[in-house]
A and B are shown apart, each in its own frame.
Chain A
Amino acid sequence: MDFTNIAFYIFAALTVGSAGVMVFHRNVVYSAVGLLFAFFGVAGIYVLLAADFIAIVQILIYVGGILILLLFGVMLSQKLTKVDVRTESMQLVPAVVVVGGVLAVLLLTISSTPWKLAGSLEYEPTTKAIGRLMMTEYLIPFEIASVLLLAALIGAAYIARKN
Chain B
Amino acid sequence: MDNVLSWITFLPVVGILAILFVPKDNKNTVRIIAAVFTGLQLVLAVWIYRNFDSSTSAIQFSEQYKWIPSFNIDYFMGIDGLSVPMVLLTAFLSFICIFASWGIEKSVKGYFAMFLLLDAGMMGVFCSLDFFLFYIFWEVMLLPMYFLIGIWGSPSRTEEDGMVRGGPYAAIKFFLYTLFGSIFMLIAMLVFYFNVSDPVTGGHTFNMLHLMDQANHGGVLKDFDVRLLIYAALFLGFAIKVPVFPFHTWLPDAHVEAPTAVSVILAGVLLKMGTYGMLRISFPMLPDAMKWKYFAYGLAILGMINILYGALCAMAQKDLKKLVAYSSISHMGIVLLGMSGLTSLGMNGAVMQMFNHGTGTAMLFLLVGVIYDRAHHRQIDGFGGLAVRMPIFAAMMSLAFFAGLGLPGLSSFISEAFSFLGAFGSETFDLRLITVVSTIGIIITAGYFLWTFQRMFLGELNPKYAELPEINGRELFTLVPIGILVIVLGVYPAPLLDLIKTSLNELVEVVKAAEAPTMLGLH
Question: Do A and B touch directly, given a CB cutoff of 8 Å in the complex?
Answer: no
Q: B residues within 8 Å of A by Cβ?
A: none
